[in-house]
Structure 1
Amino acid sequence: MKFRWTWCLPLIASVTLAACGTTEGGGGASKPGPSGPAGDAASLTAYHWKLQQAFTPAGNDDQTWFLSSSQAPIVLDFADQRVLVKNLCNVMSSGYSVEGQRINLQRAMSTLRACNDNQLMMLEQKVARILPTAKQWNVQLGVGTEQPRLTLQFIDGTRWQFNGQPTAQTQYGSAPERMFLEVGPERKACSAGAGRHQCLQVREIRYGDNGVKTYTGQWENFYSEIEGYKHEAGVSNVLRINRYKRQNVPADASAYAYVLDMVVSSTLENKRK
């Protein structure tokens, strides 16, 4: 599936807010926070931030930012001076900058995907309206097994709290190598370590700077898994992958970790020539 980006209409105007206030404003009954030190701006990019709690301007718990338990909560990813908002109908992308504890968001773009879930679409529109009004941020790092916490406060007093999960680069401690893999529609039996395994069938693809395909490799067994990718039988996919060099690798494990960055295209098997 190929995505197109367009300007998200609710976010036409650029917003630069420098209002003063405390990140923990309001009287909401927050869960106990981590016991670690405050994080700097780099800590924003070091984690995937999953929404855990939300509070109204009056400080009351606000469940309207969450849908059913089967729907994944909102996730924010900060990278390359952009923030991605995930787990809505579409993925939103907005430029951001920070100055101390203030955060400024530019106008956002969004993918254009059909959404048959009216509640999810309404939530997406609600997020689109409030996102550019974020005015302050605060990260509190955890100690030991504690998860870090990100708090975002908006100009109307609404407050969101997120728990952080390390990004792949934080987890593996190295910058990734970008690559493209085509994944075939069916797994095949293969020998992996001490037993039999059902391997993905992959081949490497390379593109020139102009986006034209310059190389297509041979099909081969893929003995690892791709983090973030769920294979669906009968569907082939071209994936953009971030490959990380692993540290202290066991003798029977792959020297690399493969993390899904984006599904570039998908093709049903019965439509393949």
Structure 2
Amino acid sequence: MINNRVVKGSFKTSALLMLALTGCQTVNTNPSAPSERVPDAQPAIFIGKAPTVDDLQSYHWQLSGVNTYPNSTNPPPSDHLKPQIDNHKVTLDFTQNRISYSVGCNQLSSGYRLQGDKLQASTNAVTTLMDCGSLQQSETWLAQQMQSQSQLSMMIMSWQTHAMLQQDLADGTALIWDGILKPEVKYGKGETVFLEVKPKWQYCDNVTDRKCLEVRDINYDTQGLKTAVGQWYILDAHIINYRHDESAQRVLRLTRYRTPPTDTKGYGSLYQLDSVIETKTLAK
């Protein structure tokens, strides 16, 4: 069993844990890359509510715990699911009309209906077709749970950058999701850019031991033909959802958001990965 000892129907333990963590919250999106600090000028205050569709789709949700109780009839396959939870691989996202979720293998998506605090996803889920190996059991379990009716309770931190969602399932299990406000909600509409990324990490500066990516700007025309290539430079900024390794040189399609002085020292940029559009594998 995976059990964080959260009282069913209550955020008591989880909220206290989040209060301890969010006095000065650090978000790391790249190994060895600089961390983004969430402002800590005010104490973390959680506001409980039944979520609306707008609330749900404003956050990217990561599963932080599964709580089973004596009346749970379908406990999760903890041997395979727990490592995915620990590595933030189990995710949930909402749009106005669809819900999508994953245990770190296939992406499953279906329509859903929210009536008050009751969530009902449709049973005809669309999925990618990767072979999940040992994760197949966890993926099947999550799909079964998401396609049954559940009850939602949400708590939003006072400055709204983080939230928590408790999903009580029909079989007596509760899923606890941590929500991070999506960049497009926090910063407004971003712009599409393309960066080529060198495989090897570089030092960000001559003072610290922080490491950054070495990149250059790529421009394409409306037909997708490359029109300009910039000079290489050190990118001292986050790329959300990008996991770098040193085995290949890549061209990334990104959304770039302008960030205010409260988030960085002066105006800067935050990047989010849309897709990898080109990969050059290095010869061994």
TM-score (norm 2): 0.66
- Contact 2:221–2:227 under 8 Å retained in 1: no
Q: What's 1:229 paired with?
A: 242
SS of aligned partner of 1:37: strand
Identify if the C-alpha distance between structure 1 residues 182 and 84 changes in structure 2 by more than 3 Å, giving closer, same or farther: farther
- Quote the residue 2:4 is aligned against: none
Deviation at 1:247, TM superposition (A): 0.6
Cα distance per residue 1:67-107 (max 9 Å; x no partner): 24755452212235333323422222333342332334243
Q: Check 1:199–1:209 CA distance in 2 against 1; reply closer, same or farther (3 A cut).
A: same
Q: How does 1:71-110 map to 2 (within 5 A)?
A: 71-72=87-88, 74-79=90-95, 81-106=97-122, 107-110=124-127
Kept after mapping to 2: 8 A contact 1:92/1:108: yes
Structure 1 residues 97 and 145: alpha-carbon distance in aligned structure 2, compared to 1, 3 A threshold:
closer
Q: Is residue 2:126 matched to residue 1:113?
A: no
User: Counterparts of 1:108-187 in structure 2 under 5 Å?
Assistant: 108-116=125-133, 118=134, 120-143=135-158, 148-170=163-185, 172-187=186-201
Structure 2, unaligned stretches of length 5 or more?
1-6, 16-45
1:167 Cα deviation from its structure 2 partner: 2.4
Matched, 1:46 2:53: no
Find the residue that maps to 1:241 and give its secondary structure.
strand
- The amino acid across from 2:97 in the alignment is Q
Is structure 2 residue 277 aligned with structure 1 residue 261? no
> Alpha-carbon deviation of 1:146?
10
Contact kept, 8 Å, 1:91 with 1:111, in 2: the verdict is yes
* Cα distance in 2 between the residues matched to 1:179 and 1:37: 38
Change (3 A) 1:245 1:151: same
The change in CA–CA distance for 1:194 and 1:102 in structure 2 (over 3 A counts) is same
Q: Partner amino acid for 1:88?
A: G
Cα-Cα RMSD? 3.8
Three-state SS of the structure 2 residue aligned to 1:122 is helix
Deviations 1:105-158 (A, max 9, x none): 243333333444x1x221012222332223443323234699532122444454
Contact 2:74 2:171 in 1 (8 A): no
CA gap 1:62/1:238 in 2 versus in 1, 3 angstroms: same
Whether the aligned pair in 2 keeps the contact of 1:182 and 1:204 (CA below 8 Å) is yes
**Deviation (angstroms), 1:245:** 0.7
Seen in structure 2, the aligned counterparts of structure 1 residues 48 and 197 have a Cα distance that, compared at 3 Å, is closer
Give a deviation string over 1:142-195, Cα, whole Å, max 9, x none: 34699532122444454322222222234x4322223332323334567x4867
Distance 1:198 1:74, change over 3 A: closer
Give distance in 2, aligned partners of 1:146 and 1:246: 14
Aligned mates of 1:193, 1:169 — CA distance in 2 = 33
* Count of equivalent residues: 240
Q: 1:37 aligns with which of 40, 45, 48?
A: 48
Tell me, in whole angstroms, the C-alpha distance in 1 between the residues paired with 2:74 and 2:131.
31
Please state whether the residue corresponding to 2:125 is helix, strand or coil: strand
Provide structure 1 residue ranges, at least 5 long, that are not aligned to the other structure: 1-26
Work out whether residues 53 and 162 of structure 1, in 8 Å CA contact, stay in contact via their aligned partners in 2. no
SS at match of 1:270: coil
Whether the 8 Å CA contact 2:242–2:273 is kept in 1: the answer is: yes
Tell me, in whole angstroms, the C-alpha distance in 2 between the residues paired with 1:265 and 1:91: 22
The alignment partner of 1:89 has SS state of coil
- Residue 249 and residue 62 in structure 1: after superposition, are their counterparts in 2 closer, same or farther (change >3 A)? same
Give the equivalent residue in structure 1 for 2:40. none
Paired amino acid for 1:223: L
SS of match in other structure, 1:43: helix
